[in-house]
């Protein structure tokens, strides 16, 4: 059974340019052209990547900008030991001269004011001398690390002190942390006037400050480093 072709609104059949090949109204340029693909709607499968988390700047802007640089490797125990020996020798002479001068002044004053006991004068002189030695070493270490991130010995060995959370890069270190680090390392000097206390303090110092970096992982820190949250790295 044959069906009539569909009628158009004007009743004349297909409009111009539309129709089957060979029929009136079919454009020659349309012959052989493929139909456009069907519309599939919007694609919601692709997910937009989330922006990176915001990281606030560390410290004030000027201080943080000073320490943007390359990443360094941890210093070895031997390198740190050599640097410390150099520092101890370099500071020993001026600190000892200051300690002797202050000790003699206080001992002379004690003698002039009536205390002629030799043992008391000798003990007080030793206490004053080693307090001056402690203050000299602590001030030297703290000032050098704060200003240059290295002492004279560390400069010769090409070492620097950096924050442990900097992953080997430089960064701001609070003054209180630097001072506490220096004081803890040199606190045995305060006990040198007493043989008993000196032995105990020196053994604790050897275990927790000197040899602890040998087995500490992953940062090779002594207890003075852990207190200040610092590490020592090699810069050259």
- Nearest-angstrom CA–CA distance, 217 and 221: 8
Residue 129 in tokens: 């001398």
pLDDT at 117: 65
Q: Hey, what are 74's tokens?
A: 């941890």
* Helical (H) or strand (E) element with 202: helix 195-205
Question: What average pLDDT does the segment 214-230 reach?
Answer: 94
Share of the chain above pLDDT 90, in %: 44
pLDDT band at 60 (very low <50, low <70, confident <90, very high): very low
Neighbour count for residue 32 (Cβ, 10 Å): 7
The better pLDDT of the pair 131, 105 is held by 131
Average pLDDT for residues 173-194, to the nearest whole number?
93
Place 72 in a pLDDT band, splitting at 50, 70 and 90. Answer: confident
How would you label 11-31 residue by residue, b for 16+ Cβ within 10 Å and e otherwise? eeebeeeebeeeeeebeeeee
Highest mean pLDDT among 7-21, 64-78, 92-106: 92-106
Inform me whether the pLDDT recorded for 71 exceeds 70. yes
Beta-bridge mates of residue 161? 232
For residue 32, the model assigns a pLDDT of 53
Q: Would the pLDDT of 38 be above 70?
A: no
Q: What is the rounded CA–CA span in Å between residue 167 and residue 172?
A: 13
């Amino acid at each position: 059974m044959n069906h009539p072709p569909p009628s158009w609104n004007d009743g004349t059949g297909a409009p111009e340019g539309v129709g089957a090949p060979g029929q009136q109204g079919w454009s020659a340029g349309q012959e052989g052209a493929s139909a456009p693909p069907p519309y599939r709607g919007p694609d919601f499968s692709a997910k937009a990547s989330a922006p990176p988390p915001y990281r606030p700047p560390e410290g004030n802007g000027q201080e943080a900008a000073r320490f943007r640089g390359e990443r360094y490797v941890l210093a070895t125990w031997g390198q740190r030991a050599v640097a410390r020996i150099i520092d101890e020798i370099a500071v020993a002479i001026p600190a000892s001269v200051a300690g002797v001068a202050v000790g003699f002044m206080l001992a002379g004053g004690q003698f002039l004011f009536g205390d002629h006991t030799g043992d008391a004068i000798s003990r007080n002189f030793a206490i004053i001398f080693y307090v001056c030695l402690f203050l000299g070493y602590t001030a030297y270490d703290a000032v050098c690390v704060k200003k240059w991130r290295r002492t004279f010995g560390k400069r010769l060995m090409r070492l620097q002190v950096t924050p442990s959370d900097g992953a080997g890069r430089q960064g701001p270190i609070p003054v209180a942390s630097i001072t506490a680090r220096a004081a803890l390392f040199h606190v045995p000097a305060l006990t040198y006037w007493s043989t008993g206390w000196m032995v105990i303090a020196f053994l604790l110092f050897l275990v927790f400050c000197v040899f602890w970096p040998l087995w500490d992982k992953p940062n090779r820190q002594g207890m003075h480093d852990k207190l200040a949250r610092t590490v020592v790295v090699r810069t050259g």
